[in-house]
Amino acid sequence: MKLWELKVYHIAREISKYAWPIYKRLDWQMKKIIGDQWIEAIDSISANIAEGFGRFHFLDKNKFNYNARGSLFESFDWVDKLFERKEITKEEYDYLISKLALCHKKLNSYIQTTKSQIKK
């Protein structure tokens, strides 16, 4: 299997692609306060999945998958704050929350699949 064949990786990349134009339109103060950390967390999801995918041992792989999950939860928090502060629309909020929730579900499944690769 190749990295780009992983559904969870595709979903994480879709989120990054959707988030970038939102980040770009934020003013400099909002980028400094929230935006920079938000876009780093968003981009870190797929980056950690990719790095873990390239590792040999399942424990090493899942270390990065757990990092991706941490970034995913951080992203939930930043999306909530962006919405509360009226920096994103309800439609953008709903899209991001639904994609992050789907990514969370797929990432948990991927972590379980990786754990099942332990040689008995």
* Mean pLDDT within 82-104: 98
Domain spans, the chain: 3-115
Identity of the residue numbered 99: K
Q: What is the pLDDT of residues 29-79, one digit of tens each?
A: 999 999 999 999 999 999 999 999 998 888 889 999 999 999 999 999 999
pLDDT of residue 119: 59
Provide the 8-state DSSP code for 68. Answer: H
Show the tokens assigned to 91: 């439609």
Mean pLDDT confidence for 101-117: 94
Check residue 59 and give its pLDDT. 84
| HEC sequence for 18-83 | HHHHHHHHCCHHHHHHHHHHHHHHHHHHHHHHHHHHCCCCHHHHHHHHHHHHHHHHHHHHHHHHHH
For the question of whether the overall pTM of this predicted structure is more than 0.75, the answer is yes
Regarding the domain with residue range 3-115, which homologous superfamily does it belong to in the CATH classification? Answer: 23S rRNA-intervening sequence (1.20.1440.60)
- Specify the pLDDT at position 104: 98
Please write the tens of the pLDDT for every residue from 95-108: 999 999 999 999 99
Mean pLDDT of 19-34: 97
* 88 or 56, which is more confident: 88
